[in-house]
Structure 1
Amino acid sequence: MDRLLRAASLLFTGLFAGFLLGVLVLENSLRGYGAEVYTQVRQVELDALDTLASVTLIPAIIATVVLVIRGGNRRTGLLAAGLLVLVLVTSLVINLPINAEQADWLVQSPPADWAAVRDRWQVAHLVRTVAAVLAFGVLVAGGQSSRPADSRRETRTSWATAGAVRP
Structure 2
Amino acid sequence: MALTLVRLLNIIIAALLAGVSFGIWMGFNPLSLSPSTYVEQQQNMLGGLKVLMISLVFIATLITIVSAFLQKKNKPVFIVLLIAAVFFIACILITRFGNKPIDDVVMTWTADALPDNWTALRDKWWSLHIMRTIAEMIALFLVTWASIRKN
Q: Give the TM-score taking structure 2 as reference length.
A: 0.91
| Correspondence for 1:156 | none
How far apart are the structure 1 equivalents of 2:4 and 2:101?
37
Are 1:37 and 2:37 an aligned pair?
yes
Task: Indicate the residue corresponding to 2:129 in structure 1.
Answer: 125
Moved beyond 4 Å, runs of 4+: none
Deviation at 1:27, TM superposition (A): 3.1
The two structures have a TM-score, normalised by structure 1, of 0.82
Q: Which has the larger radius of gyration?
A: 1
User: How far apart, in 2, do the equivalents of 1:20 and 1:124 lie?
Assistant: 11
Is the aligned partner of 1:18 residue 2:22?
no
- Say if 2:81 and 2:143, in contact at 8 Å, map to a contact too: yes
Partner of 1:82: 86
SS in 2 for 1:31: helix
- CA distance in structure 2 between the aligned counterparts of 1:22 and 1:122, rounded to whole angstroms: 13
Deviation, 1:144, is 2.1
Q: CA RMSD for the aligned pairs?
A: 1.3
Any stretches of 5+ residues in structure 2 without a counterpart?
Answer: none
| Cα shift at 1:22 | 1.0
* Distance in 1 of aligned mates of 2:113 and 2:17: 33
Where does 1:36-115 land on structure 2 (aligned, <5 Å)?
Answer: 36-72=36-72, 73-115=77-119
- Write out per-residue CA displacement over residues 123-165 of structure 1, whole angstroms, 9 at most, x where no aligned residue: 11000100101111111112222x34xxxxxxxxxxxxxxxxx
State the identity as a percent.
Answer: 23
Q: Which runs of 5+ in 1 are unaligned?
A: 149-167
Distance (whole Å) between structure 1 residues aligned to residue 94 and residue 46 of structure 2: 17
1:8 CA drift (Å)? 1.4
| Displacement after TM superposition at 1:7 (Å) | 1.2
Q: Distance in 2 between matches of 1:118 and 1:76?
A: 34
Aligned length: 146
